[in-house]
């Protein structure tokens, strides 16, 4: 055993029976004859020793026998609770089949049903009652070497709204992808839900709701709780990266702005979504043969994702020679009350940033007709708002209209891939936030892209941790978008795919990590010394879900 394994063994089990119930070290029927003798496993396991490959056959047979995405998820989480190494091996080797189960779109249903399917602890819950003792709660986690934390307060889960403590499914899913996509050791990952109540009446009235049954706290009490959380994290897990996830817009921006210069923190909904969207736009421009500076974007929705994408687009257009004001004039937003224009009195400071001098519009089709955008970006959480007349108008205005329906889960998508391709006569360059299957029209097969944040945030995290970056910079997300787009091949583009296959995700994450680390070294914010070959160093340290020989 390695020294690290020895420490885990001493910390987490004393007998063979306990070993078989420890998901980090358990190998199930793959324990060798010598290991069975050494650890007192004789009689506790069936006599035949299986290889990990043989175990995967059993996993796939059981997984594929399940008849619904939710049942598949429950099965995989049960496997993770029994044998973590086997779980990650199965997902990594079958990523295109299993990622939609452990992440979007199934994770939305998981959060809705979380109280009904709860089996056991997957992360830490911190409540308002823990104020003054958050450090103690953090120390209850069994692993000390925490490097990656994903935290939510459950107020804006995907496009589903306030799910309170049920939002734990999001940090659990995201951190699984840190391991699958970027090779970060699962014992270094910690999911956290800050339970400050919920305003969801259905949950408050449910006997199976797992969270605190009270209305959400806000204002000074909320701010003080989050302040204690950040301070405690830095004390207990000083080397950890903190990823904010699915906070309501006002809290998301406030927390990011408040802590980004003093903590290693980023917001995936603001910055990760922006990066994956920009990567898709870069790829689309390879098809249209146009420049970013000449595009005009119309957003449906103006929350974290929409504003984050707009801000990163501005940064990218600055690189192409536009001024900041000129760049902002290329980004139009349509919210629940219409086009965001300067003479509206009901827009807040965040929205004012992108308010335009334009005539008011309360009809989205009319906005398309007057603005004449080259791309539609849907981030509103409202299904079917990209209607047939809108897609047809976009096709009239553009030879190859860019249509991004990014709202999650699939039930919230602004339109489907089938609709975008059919209504545009196969001319749309489409990407969804959730996966859509290949579409066959008139003998042609088109493969829609998925603007999946998993292309971005694991690589960002890997890069930050590999160099010990003290803070996370916006330019890292711009570099990540460029890196991701470079991985899209002419063959991908020919099939309509503007993102690379998920089967390439680990090498993509490593390359993004390299780009992130290079920025950190250049800006002088890296705590670790710079290796001769950054990419080689990153790849050599990535966790592989293979069994270790203990004796």
In angstroms, the CA 387 to CA 339 distance is 17
Structure token digits, residue 25: 């070290």
Structure token digits, residue 308: 């984050």
Q: Within 13 Å of residue 511, how many CA atoms lie on the same side as its CB?
A: 15
Stretch (H or E) spanning 396? helix 388-397
279 and 455 Cβ atoms separated by less than 8 Å: yes
Q: Which residues are catalytic?
A: 103, 174
Residue 110: what are its φ and ψ, rounded to 5°? Answer: -60, -45
In angstroms, the CA 311 to CA 273 distance is 11
- Termini Cα distance of the chain: 6
Q: How many helices (H) and strands (E) does the chain have?
A: 26, 14
In angstroms, the CA 260 to CA 256 distance is 5
- State whether residue 393 is helix, strand or coil: helix
In angstroms, the CA 154 to CA 217 distance is 13
32 CB contacts (<8 Å, ≥6 apart)? 49, 549, 551
At CA 198, angle to CA 196 and CA 200, rounded to 5?
175
316 and 478 Cβ atoms separated by less than 8 Å: yes
Nearest to 465 by CA among 266, 226, 207, 256: 266
418 CB contacts (<8 Å, ≥6 apart)? 436, 439
């Amino acid at each position: 055993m390695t020294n690290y394994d020895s420490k885990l063994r001493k910390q987490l089990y004393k007998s063979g029976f306990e070993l078989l119930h420890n998901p980090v070290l358990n190998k199930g029927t793959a324990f060798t004859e010598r290991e069975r003798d050494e650890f007192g496993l004789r009689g506790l396991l069936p006599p035949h020793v299986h290889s990990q490959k043989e175990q995967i056959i059993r996993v796939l047979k059981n997984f594929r026998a399940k008849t619904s995405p939710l049942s598949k998820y429950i099965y995989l989480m049960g496997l993770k609770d029994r044998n973590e190494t086997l779980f990650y091996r199965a997902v990594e080797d079958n990523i295109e089949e299993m990622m939609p189960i452990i992440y979007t779109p199934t994770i939305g249903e998981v959060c809705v049903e979380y109280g009904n399917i709860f089996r056991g602890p997957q992360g830490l819950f911190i409540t308002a009652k823990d104020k003054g003792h958050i450090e103690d709660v953090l120390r209850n986690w069994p692993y000390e070497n925490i490097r990656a934390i994903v935290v939510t307060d459950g107020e804006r889960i995907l496009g589903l709204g306030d799910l309170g403590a049920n939002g734990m499914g999001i940090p659990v899913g995201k951190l699984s992808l840190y391991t699958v996509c970027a090779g970060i050791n699962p014992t270094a990952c910690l999911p956290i839900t800050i339970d400050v109540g919920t305003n969801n009446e259905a949950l408050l009235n449910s006997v199976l709701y797992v969270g605190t049954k009270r209305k959400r706290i806000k204002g000074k009490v909320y701010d003080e709780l989050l302040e204690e959380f950040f301070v405690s994290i830095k004390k207990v897990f000083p080397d950890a990266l903190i990823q904010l996830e699915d906070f309501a817009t006002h809290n998301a921006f406030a927390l990011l702005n408040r802590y980004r210069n003093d903590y290693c923190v980023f917001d995936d909904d603001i910055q990760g979504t922006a990066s994956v969207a920009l990567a898709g736009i870069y790829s689309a421009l390879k098809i249209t043969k146009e420049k970013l500076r000449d595009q005009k974007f119309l957003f449906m929705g103006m929350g974290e994702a929409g504003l984050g994408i707009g801000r990163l687009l501005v940064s990218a257009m600055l690189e192409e020679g536009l001024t900041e004001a000129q760049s902002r004039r290329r980004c139009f937003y349509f919210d629940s009350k219409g086009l965001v224009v300067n003479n509206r009195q009901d827009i807040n400071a965040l929205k004012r940033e992108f308010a335009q001098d334009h005539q008011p519009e309360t009809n989205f089709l009319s906005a398309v007709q007057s603005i004449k955008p080259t791309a539609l970006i849907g981030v509103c959480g409202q299904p079917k708002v990209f209607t047939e007349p809108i897609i047809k108008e976009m096709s009239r205005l553009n030879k190859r209209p860019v249509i991004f329906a990014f709202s999650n889960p699939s039930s919230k998508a602004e339109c489907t891939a089938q609709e975008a391709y059919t209504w545009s006569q196969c001319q749309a360059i489409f990407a969804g936030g959730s996966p859509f299957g290949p579409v066959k029209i008139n003998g042609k097969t088109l493969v829609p892209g998925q603007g999946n944040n998993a292309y971005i945030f694991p690589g960002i995290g890997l890069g930050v941790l590999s160099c010990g970056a003290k803070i996370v910079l916006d330019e890292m997300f711009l570099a990540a978008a460029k890196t991701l787009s470079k991985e899209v091949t002419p063959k991908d583009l020919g099939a309509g795919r503007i993102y690379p296959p998920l089967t390439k995700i680990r090498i993509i994450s490593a390359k993004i990590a390299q780009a992130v680390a290079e920025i950190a070294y250049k800006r002088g914010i890296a705590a670790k010394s710079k290796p001769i070959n950054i990419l080689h160093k990153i790849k050599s340290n990535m966790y592989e879900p293979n069994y270790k020989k203990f004796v």
